[in-house]
Amino acid sequence: MRSNQDPALLRAFAAEIKARRAASELSQEGLAFASSVTRTFVAKLELAQTSPSLTTIFRLADGLKIGPDEMIQSTMRRYRKELRASK
């Protein structure tokens, strides 16, 4: 099966999750618990190895005590930087 995931977008989301988690002084395990996902999944997200579902984005935002819209907007800013850097 062919993957249609955007590596730059995965990297942008990974960086956003990691930065927000660090700013909140949460471990991967702490974020996972607060978001009702597994620590392994948080690690894979932070390594840009997988992409989250819409439900997971909402759960992660809740675990980070931010709105999902803020998460998406911040990720979009990082994504644009990733795209510029790759040119």
Tens digits of per-residue pLDDT, 43-80?
999 999 999 999 999 999 999 999 999 999 999 999 99
Return the closest-CA partner of residue 9 out of 68, 83, 87, 85: 83
Which pTM was predicted? Answer: 0.91
Tens digits of per-residue pLDDT, 14-26?
999 999 999 999 9
Domain-embedded: residue 30:
yes
Q: Residue 55's domain spans which residues? A: 7-85
pLDDT of residue 3: 64
pLDDT at 2 over 70: no
Domain-embedded: residue 1:
no
Domain-embedded: residue 2:
no
DSSP the chain: ------HHHHHHHHHHHHHHHHHTT--HHHHHHHHTS-HHHHHHHHTTSS---HHHHHHHHHHTTS-HHHHHHHHHHHHHHHHHHT-
CATH assignment at residue 29: 1.10.260.40
